[in-house]
Amino acid sequence: MSARWDAVFAARGWLSEQPAAFRALVLGEAVAAPAEPGQGVCRIDDEASGLYGIVSGAIGVEAGHRRQTPLLGHVMRAGDWFGLKAAASSDPRELTYRALEPTKLACVPRARLLPLMQRDPEVAIRVAQLGEVGGRLGAWVARDLLTPDAGRRLAAVLLRVLGMGEVAPDDAQGFWLTHKQLGEMANLSRHHVGRKLAQFEAAGWVTCGYNRIRLLDADGLGAFAYGDDAA
């Protein structure tokens, strides 16, 4: 376990809510797993082989049921964890997790995770809490998409996928995000996304470059996103 890993996971996400000894136990079993942009770390129907934590970069979550083409629904950032199925079942995965930026991951292989859980029920309980984290995220995504006003909906999605102002971009030009990706996540056209982002930039909430976005004022963007839809 590197000092950087501990600093990242102590600051944000599931492990930040756990005791330091448990965090050290989990990270002590983890191995480094880099991923390049576009690379699928876990895909739908893959064997559930490990639990992953994001050290840096970004992981897009793609989902859909069997009669739908999977779409990008969320972007996970440093401190977030995914792949709970590796602890719960050997069944095939139901989501695809794809790197959207150069990404560094800490992977706890299933072969190392299961013995920890079998030896100590407390470990199993704490790992199972990731299910609650996932449930909260799913409810959050659904609520954002139920926002009727397109501008507020995009602002809510943007704030969520940029880490609520809790994560700094690894790239000096900002987070890697395209208009197409934002449109997919907010159910808007690329043209609509472009117009709204120009408004957000004029308000001083974000700054945009070519496929790059920096969050400048999380409070301002949040006040707009979560304001009264009837206003």
| pTM score over 0.85 | yes
Tell me how far apart the alpha carbons of residues 227 and 231 are, in angstroms, rounded to a whole number: 8
The pLDDT of residue 195: 96
pLDDT digit string, tens, across residues 177-192: 999 999 999 999 999 9
Maximum separation of any 2 CA atoms in the chain, in Å: 56
pLDDT digit string, tens, across residues 70-86: 899 999 999 999 988 77
The pLDDT of residue 1: 56
pLDDT digit string, tens, across residues 40-63: 998 777 777 889 999 999 999 998
CATH superfamily membership of 3-144: Jelly Rolls (2.60.120.10)
The pLDDT of residue 231: 42
Q: What are the DSSP E strand ranges found in 81-155?
A: 81-82, 96-99, 103-109
Classify 148-225 by CATH class.
mainly alpha
Mean of the per-residue pLDDT values for the chain?
92
The pLDDT of residue 105: 97
The pLDDT of residue 230: 42
The DSSP line for 179-223 is: HHHHHHHHT--HHHHHHHHHHHHHTTSEEEETTEEEES-HHHHHH
Assess contact for 158 and 142: CB atoms under 8 A. no
Any idea which residue has 């779409």 for tokens?
71
Q: Count the alpha carbons within 13 Å of 183 in the hemisphere toward its beta carbon.
A: 12
pLDDT at residue 133 tops 70 = yes
Domain ranges of the chain: 3-144, 148-225
pLDDT at residue 67 tops 80 = no
